[in-house]
Amino acid sequence: MTAVVTAGRFGRLLAVRVRPNLDLTLGIEALCADHGVRHAEVRAAVGSLTDAVLVTANGRRTIAGPGLEIALTAGRVAPDESGQPRAQLYGLVSDGDGRPYGGAFARGENPVFVTLELILQEWLPDRQAT
Amino acid sequence: MRAIRHPGPPLEPRLLTARSDTSQEFAIELGAGADLLATLADALERLGVDTAGIRFAGGNLDRIGFVTGVIDPTGYRIATHSAPAYLEGPILLIGGSAILGRESAERLRLHCHAAFVAADGAARSGHLLPGCCPVGTGGARAFVTSTGNAQFAVVFDAETNFPLMQPVARA
């Protein structure tokens, strides 16, 4: 099996502001838990982080801020083994000189600096197509 | 994970949310000569959309103006924007996100962070400035999700001393 395709549709949409010092990933997970959202996709996210910890194939990298701009965020939320929403987020942040750094956002280690504006949308899987 | 102390008292709730059961999807192509952000905001306003999430899907710019985050030397805020940087094209817009919201009854705000490759071949990213990013030959593309009953509106935030976009339920 090289691909699993799941048909589905988008459901409820959440417009969100995350205040300072809350972790990006934990904030999204808490939001989904509060609203009973099991699966979701990040549709857009703009904001800043105090510092960033990004994970790549080469390991973990800490980018010291404060004031790293989040230029790109992609990711999804899906339930873990216990049914709790877990977010896996990937993206690009830039430092004060505009230098970009990319990777997966380490859970619990990417605090919002001033604000994060986020649009998250529920994904409602219908069935596994193949 | 360190916590930053902003000038004002921490405000609750830490997660502000507005929910909508409806949304719409749009694909937008911007032609050469259009300003990336202003033309996009105008096009959405003409469709009656004042709040949306936008994902850029590549493009070409003749010029780019952007800022980054720096410490506020006055202490009024913990941070501010750097002096604007302007780069001449060709600029390749790789991708980015933007949030469209209502700044006032007459005016929309488009908050955009994006990544791009400049004419010197170096990748950079930052906060793009409206009116400073003319689209070049080949155009630029974006996908838009409008937010139905959930609106972003600019509100003065007494914790950070910034006017920031916050979600509100549309009346």
Q: Residue A94 maps to which CATH number?
A: 3.30.1330.80
ipTM of the complex, rounded to two decimals: 0.95
Question: Is B161 near chain A, with CB under 8 Å?
Answer: no
Mean pLDDT to the nearest integer, B126-131:
96
Mean pLDDT to the nearest integer, B40-67:
97
pLDDT score for A129: 56
Interval A50-79: pLDDT, tens: 999 999 999 999 999 999 999 988 999 999
- Rounded to a whole number of angstroms, the distance from the CA of B17 to the nearest CA of chain A is 5
Domain hosting residue A15, numbered range: 8-125
pLDDT score for A130: 52
A130 domain-assigned: no
| B118-136 exposure pattern, b = at least 16 Cβ within 10 A, e = fewer | beeeebbbbbbbbebbbbb
Domain count, chain A: 1
Mean pLDDT to the nearest integer, B64-76:
94
Question: B45 and A58 in contact (C-beta within 8 Å)?
Answer: no
Percentage of chain A lying above the pLDDT 70 cut: 96
* Residue spans per domain, chain B: 24-169
Question: Which of A92, A97, A113 has the CB atom closest to B68's CB atom?
Answer: A97
A1 domain-assigned: no
Residue B144 makes CB contacts below 8 A (sequence gap 6+) with B25, B26, B27, B28, B44, B49, B52, B53, B54, B55
pLDDT score for B1: 84
Token digits for B97? 């996100």
Question: What is the domain class of B24-169 according to CATH?
Answer: alpha beta
Chain A segment 99-118 residues within 8 A of B by beta carbon are 99-100, 108-111, 113-115, 117
Q: CB distance B164–A115 less than 8 Å?
A: yes
Q: Which amino acid is at B123?
A: A
For residue A23, the 8-state DSSP code is B
- Rounded to a whole number of angstroms, the distance from the CA of A125 to the nearest CA of chain B is 17
A3 domain-assigned: no
Percentage of chain B lying above the pLDDT 90 cut: 97
* Prior bond of A100 cis (ω within 30°): no
Interface mutation target, options B25, B37, B125, chain A, most CBs of A under 10 Å: B125
- Rounded to a whole number of angstroms, the distance from the CA of B33 to the nearest CA of chain A is 24
